[in-house]
Structure 1
């Protein structure tokens, strides 16, 4: 019995020792894992700091070599011009190709079910039709505009000095009094007239002579641009034929580089950007073409001078949102005022009516709410982008800011959803607030709850008194 107890004691001792050894090994393994994880975390932090410092150093040296970098970038853009033209042409022609695909593929499936490569045939027809329409439109516009523009500019150069002299003579008759104000106005008008005439005789003629001496260089440049445009058309055909494949490759690359959540966000932003830019740019081009045609018809009916020149100016500047109509109308009004003051007044009234029609009827019908921006943000984006990048900034500032606005709005809504707060902007007016515990409270509902509680309390008091 004593031997049995001794053996049992020995077995318990060995078991305790084994448990102690296992516990020690487990603790040592946990300490090893903690040290390894700590080392890994420190390594990641060190690498992050290294890359941040390296990026700062590279950015500093890039600022020092900004001129050289910009020259390299300009050289790259000059070489890549055919590809840029091709991508732009493909982007503009894509709606026509998609429209033909949507209608032609069902017809081919209905009438030619055994026909193979229906999509390729429909795509080829769509690209052919869109390219022919583009070339026909460009040719028609050039045939209409170049002779008229040449005649208008020639008449302007020859007639503006005499028109200004006549205007000064009429103005002198109106202010023939010897008053100080009349003399001041007469001297200002005479000085302005002398300045314009001297500019047209000296500076303008010098520039014309300079342009004539650089005609060879200009012709070479023009031929080069035409050649780039032709290559761009060929590139656009390849892009339109393979656009689905390019979309799949881009999506594959994004999912390979980024995490699934980030990739989905990038694809969502890319789709929204395409929707905003496509709707705005194509809609604005169509809107400006219609306004230019209406302006030409109206000025022809009113028998205005410089009809084609003014119509082109109004149509082209109408592409710029908000400020475009004023940019085009002011010099056009001055030209017509010099030719005939009464017709100049009629033109101002006509342009105001035309821009009201565009802003309230035609523009909303074509553009709709493609950007989702209020009037303040439209003016803000045009002023900032125009001040930084000039005319291209005024053209693309609104859709670019609309994309930025969409991204910021999406991020803000995502953060509010995580905090379990409402995303509707109207909820954050005078009647809504968030308390110190992060709970959204609406004042009207809070007052209703208080009224219900008070009514309930009064009812309980009445019941207790009855009892």
Structure 2
């Protein structure tokens, strides 16, 4: 009986050992339910997001509510955006004021409050100064360009007509076709003015009035946005603490840590990219201005501003800015337009290979292919804003996917380096090692 009991116990141990061996022969099998849950959660999140997007933009009821909510919240949105953009400037000014006032103020709390107040005031002054300088640079240049075009265009058209009539074309068919085309164009403009433009003048006046009202509303929202920016900057630590408090109240500590770390990385990516591109675009705008002055390009200020602003868009920005710049210059001087084209190409190469990498570095962590992918998809879906924010947004998505993939590989005890997988043919299930040819 005792031998039988011992034999029974031995057989149970052997059975358990066999089960353990089977489990060890298939590593990671017990993790599949967890990975499946993660996959289902990701799929459901994307599906709900897509349904929510179509509900907002495709159904009139939801679209109307969303438009009203967006219009009402526009001053707050503008304030949050301005606060995010000007926060690095404010923090830098705050550090400077703390150094200057630390010897005069013994109270740490008072020093912090006074430095923060002075830094916020300085940030507002810098913001208003930048906008004023841009307006002062753009508006007179635009007015001068339009007035110059209105003065020179009739003479250019008349000279073109005289060239056709009295030039080398003679009485050829080319001259006849050109004259007929000009005559048809003139007749079309006259008919359009008498039949459509004048009868619909009231409609155009209403549109102009609506545009003026929109401009006034935009100015009002901007002023309120500056006030919101001041409040957000003054209580940003409190807002950050409240956000963390809510996250840890809703989520488990481990999940909360992951969320906060992801938010911190997102802020690092967006902040580094946006501030770097603004500095880069400012440098490019200044170089473009002095380059246009040296080459005597007409409307130098306007051209430099266009090149600098569009340079915020990675890769395609210089080419997007080149189109309106060349159109402005070619009307006034075709040769100068050719000089400008060559200058823009050279400037783009200098920015892409020297200035941009020095300032931006690897703030996004994306290769050139993924940068172009993010710009094309973002621009195709959301226009200019998508082209501007597509790269940092995709960089955040790339970072999250990379973390999830590396976590899954670590759980399976597989290498995380991509180079280890470039020539692999599979995984050896016996020793859980990568196989190569």
TM-score range, shorter chain: 0.7 to 0.9
Q: Name the structure 2 match of 1:256.
A: 249
Q: Name the structure 2 match of 1:279.
A: 272
1:176 is displaced (CA, Å) by: 6.1
Q: Does 1:399 align with 2:392?
A: yes
Aligned counterpart in structure 2 of residue 78 of structure 1, from 62, 71, 77: 71
Aligned counterpart in structure 2 of residue 330 of structure 1, from 317, 323, 329: 323
CA deviation profile, 1:35-59 (whole Å, cap 9, x unmatched): xxxxxxxxxxxxx9xxx9xx99xx6
Decide which moves more: 350-359 or 61-70: 61-70
Indicate how the Cα distance of structure 1 residues 267 and 217 shifts in structure 2: closer, same or farther if over 3 A, else same: same
CA deviation profile, 1:404-436 (whole Å, cap 9, x unmatched): 111111111111111111111111122685323
How many angstroms apart in 1 are the aligned matches of 2:338 and 2:69?
49
Query: Any stretches of 5+ residues in structure 2 without a counterpart?
Result: 1-39
CA deviation profile, 1:336-380 (whole Å, cap 9, x unmatched): 233322222111111111111221222122222111111111111
Q: Name the structure 1 match of 2:406.
A: 413
Indicate how the Cα distance of structure 1 residues 190 and 432 shifts in structure 2: closer, same or farther if over 3 A, else same: farther
1:216 is displaced (CA, Å) by: 3.4
Aligned counterpart in structure 2 of residue 372 of structure 1, from 355, 362, 365: 365
1:206 is displaced (CA, Å) by: 5.2
Aligned counterpart in structure 2 of residue 93 of structure 1, from 86, 100, 104: 86
Indicate how the Cα distance of structure 1 residues 80 and 178 shifts in structure 2: closer, same or farther if over 3 A, else same: same
Q: Is the 8 A contact 1:164 1:193 kept in 2?
A: no
How do 1:128-143 residues align onto structure 2 when only pairs under 5 Å count?
128-143=121-136
How many angstroms apart in 2 are the aligned matches of 1:239 and 1:91?
9
- Secondary structure (helix, strand or coil) at the match of 1:80 reads helix
Higher relative contact order (CA 8 A, sep 6+): 2
Q: Does 1:113 align with 2:106?
A: yes
Indicate how the Cα distance of structure 1 residues 331 and 261 shifts in structure 2: closer, same or farther if over 3 A, else same: same
Indicate how the Cα distance of structure 1 residues 274 and 197 shifts in structure 2: closer, same or farther if over 3 A, else same: farther
How many angstroms apart in 1 are the aligned matches of 2:298 and 2:259?
52
Q: Is the 8 A contact 2:164 2:178 kept in 1?
A: no
Q: Name the structure 1 match of 2:380.
A: 387
Aligned counterpart in structure 2 of residue 350 of structure 1, from 343, 353, 356: 343
- Secondary structure (helix, strand or coil) at the match of 1:384 reads helix
CA deviation profile, 1:295-344 (whole Å, cap 9, x unmatched): 22221222222323322322222222222211121232233233322222
CA deviation profile, 1:222-268 (whole Å, cap 9, x unmatched): 22211111111111111111000100100010111112222111111
- Root-mean-square deviation (CA), in Å? 3.9
Q: Is the 8 A contact 1:161 1:197 kept in 2?
A: no
Q: Is the 8 A contact 2:137 2:302 kept in 1?
A: no
Indicate how the Cα distance of structure 1 residues 271 and 402 shifts in structure 2: closer, same or farther if over 3 A, else same: same
Indicate how the Cα distance of structure 1 residues 149 and 256 shifts in structure 2: closer, same or farther if over 3 A, else same: same
How many angstroms apart in 2 are the aligned matches of 1:152 and 1:77?
36
Q: Name the structure 2 match of 1:308.
A: 301
1:443 is displaced (CA, Å) by: 5.3
1:290 is displaced (CA, Å) by: 2.4
Q: Does 1:243 align with 2:243?
A: no
Decide which moves more: 216-225 or 59-68: 59-68
How many angstroms apart in 1 are the aligned matches of 2:180 and 2:378?
38
- Secondary structure (helix, strand or coil) at the match of 1:434 reads strand
How many angstroms apart in 2 are the aligned matches of 1:193 and 1:325?
39
How many angstroms apart in 2 are the aligned matches of 1:230 and 1:373?
37
How do 1:136-175 residues align onto structure 2 when only pairs under 5 Å count?
136-160=129-153, 162-163=155-156
Q: Is the 8 A contact 2:307 2:318 kept in 1?
A: yes
1:104 is displaced (CA, Å) by: 3.3
Q: Name the structure 2 match of 1:37.
A: none
1:100 is displaced (CA, Å) by: 2.3
Q: Calculate the TM-score normalised by the size of structure 1.
A: 0.72
1:133 is displaced (CA, Å) by: 1.0
How many angstroms apart in 2 are the aligned matches of 1:437 and 1:199?
82
Query: Any stretches of 5+ residues in structure 1 without a counterpart?
Result: 1-47, 445-467
How do 1:1-80 residues align onto structure 2 when only pairs under 5 Å count?
62=55, 66-80=59-73
Q: Name the structure 1 match of 2:29.
A: none
Q: Is the 8 A contact 2:98 2:115 kept in 1?
A: yes
Q: Is the 8 A contact 1:304 1:343 kept in 2?
A: yes
How many angstroms apart in 1 are the aligned matches of 2:338 and 2:409?
55
Q: Calculate the TM-score normalised by the size of structure 2.
A: 0.76
Q: Is the 8 A contact 1:314 1:329 kept in 2?
A: yes
Larger radius of gyration: 1
